[in-house]
């Protein structure tokens, strides 16, 4: 990320210098649709993110410039001052959520720019709000701890951006650590760093450039199926509240009491939870072959049992297999977006070339390629 672009613009607009903050986007290695089933996710911060220069301006007005959208916004800090531009609402929302928690946030000047692709599933929005949550906390000495900053980012999305997200994205952005993934229980915010040092491998995302949206109704239907299965199991096993507590044997006992569809969804959810556990063990042992197998198994489950894949994503997955990629799967809720791929270095160029050529031939559009490195979370740069 070019600091000078942000620095120069800030100087040009405000004729002064501020402090520089950075927060990353994230990937999730495994653990998809596990959060609402009481399981864990395994995200990591990446080396792409949002860079913001910020300086308190002694007023109650925020003056903000987005370099990437070439757009300026100016707004106050009261509820009725909400800006109309959606990008500015992330910054406004962070201020409001802090003020609601009793913080004395004042006006500031700011310029920002990022290199997380928007809407590709790498969480550019969390990078944006985390940068301001982290930066304002420091500049105004607000004393929020990191978990509070995560919640401030999440509530910003809920209350000011109309996105009903969990906490994974903000948590990964703020807590990210180079060489580590974060095994995170989204319902309790308990977490553990798991080593991730895939020497001899590269991590790359292949963007199917099909629309990434968690289409509400299929998403809600998946949740409902999981709840139905969990409720049926709970009749025999009262200790089971969510599928995260259940086993495939328990599910087999209620096969005749639930629909075939609910059974399939629940099978995926239970298997995905155990794949996450097995993947963490494999990572601790440095066993990337097992990690890769689990990643492929997740794709298969998401495609055939949970049915949230697309033809484009399945095609990318097939190509990965043929090119000797160690692990490949849909990342995110499904219905579009990227695959995440763990690729042996000596197979990398061949995989990328083949995927671009064959995908373009079949769908008439080139997939986008985002190589990533697992990196540190929110920080001050200068």
Count of CB atoms situated within 10 Å of the CB of 207: 22
Q: How far, in Å, are 1, 51, 92, 153, 192 from residue 132 at the CA level?
A: 17, 10, 10, 9, 25
Angle among Cα 358, 364, 370 to the nearest 5 degrees reads: 65
Alpha-carbon gap, residue 269 to 243, rounded angstroms:
7
Q: Which of 169, 207, 262, 314 is flagged as catalytic?
A: 169
Q: Which of 333, 332, 331 is nearest to 317 (CA)?
A: 331
Residue 44, binding choice from Mg ion, ligand ADP, none, Cβ under 5 to 8 Å by partner class:
none
Least distance to ligand ADP, CB of residue 149, Å: 17
Provide the mask over 57-86, with x wherever binding to ligand ADP is found by CB under 6 A and - wherever it is not.
---------x-xx----------------x
Verify binding: residue 87, ligand ADP, rule CB under 6 A: yes
Verify binding: residue 205, ligand ADP, rule CB under 6 A: no
Least distance to Mg ion, CB of residue 123, Å: 5
Least distance to Mg ion, CB of residue 118, Å: 9
**Among positions 125, 131, 137, 375, the unique one binding Mg ion when judged by CB under 5 A:** 125
Catalytic, 169? Answer: yes
Q: Give alpha helix (H) positions in the chain.
A: 3-14, 86-100, 124-139, 146-160, 168-175, 216-236, 248-253, 260-284, 288-300, 311-322, 345-363
How many residues in the shown chain lie near ligand ADP by CB under 6 A? 17
Provide the mask over 117-146, with x wherever binding to ligand ADP is found by CB under 6 A and - wherever it is not.
-xxxxxxxx--x------------------
Alpha-carbon gap, residue 106 to 110, rounded angstroms:
13
Residue 68, binding choice from Mg ion, ligand ADP, none, Cβ under 5 to 8 Å by partner class:
ligand ADP
Verify binding: residue 277, ligand ADP, rule CB under 6 A: no
Residue 234, binding choice from Mg ion, ligand ADP, none, Cβ under 5 to 8 Å by partner class:
none
> Helix 311-322 crosses helix 345-363 at what angle (to 10 degrees)?
140
What is the contact surface with ligand ADP in residues (CB under 6 A)?
66, 68-69, 86-87, 90, 114, 118-125, 128, 163
């Amino acid at each position: 990320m070019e600091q000078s672009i942000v620095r120069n613009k800030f100087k040009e607009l405000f004729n002064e210098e501020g402090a520089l903050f950075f927060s990353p986007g994230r990937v999730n290695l495994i653990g998809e649709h596990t959060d609402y089933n009481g399981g864990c996710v395994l995200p990591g911060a990446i080396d792409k993110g949002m860079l913001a220069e910020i300086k308190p301006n002694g007023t109650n007005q925020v003056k903000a410039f987005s370099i990437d959208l070439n757009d300026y916004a100016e707004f106050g800090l009261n509820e009725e001052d909400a800006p109309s531009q959606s990008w500015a609402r992330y910054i406004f929302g962070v201020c409001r959520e802090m003020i609601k928690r009793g913080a004395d946030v004042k006006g500031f000047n700011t310029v920002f720019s990022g290199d997380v692709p928007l809407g590709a599933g790498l969480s550019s929005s969390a990078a944006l709000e985390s940068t301001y949550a982290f930066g304002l906390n420091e500049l105004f000495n607000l004393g929020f701890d990191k978990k509070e900053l995560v919640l401030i980012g999440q509530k910003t999305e809920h209350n000011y951006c109309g996105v009903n997200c969990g906490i994974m994205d903000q948590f990964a952005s703020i807590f990210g650590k180079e060489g580590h993934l974060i095994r995170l229980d989204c319902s309790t915010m308990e977490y553990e760093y798991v080593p991730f040092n895939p020497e001899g491998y590269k991590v790359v995302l292949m963007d199917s450039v099909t629309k990434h949206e968690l289409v509400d109704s299929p998403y809600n239907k998946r949740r409902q199926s999981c709840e139905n299965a969990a409720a049926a199991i709970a009749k025999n096993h009262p200790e089971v509240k969510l599928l995260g507590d259940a086993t495939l044997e328990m599910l087999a006992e209620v096969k005749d009491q639930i629909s075939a569809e609910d059974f399939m969804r629940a099978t995926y959810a239970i298997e995905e939870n155990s794949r996450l556990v097995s993947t963490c063990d494999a990572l601790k042992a440095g066993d990337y072959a097992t990690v890769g197998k689990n990643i492929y198994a997740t794709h298969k489950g998401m495609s055939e049992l949970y049915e949230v894949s697309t033809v484009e994503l399945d095609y990318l997955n097939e190509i990965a297999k043929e090119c000797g990629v160690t692990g490949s799967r849909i990342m995110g809720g499904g219905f579009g977006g990227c695959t995440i791929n763990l690729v042996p270095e000596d197979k990398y160029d061949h995989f990328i070339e083949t995927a671009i050529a064959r995908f373009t031939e079949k769908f008439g559009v080139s997939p986008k390629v985002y190589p990533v490195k697992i990196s540190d979370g929110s920080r001050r740069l200068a």
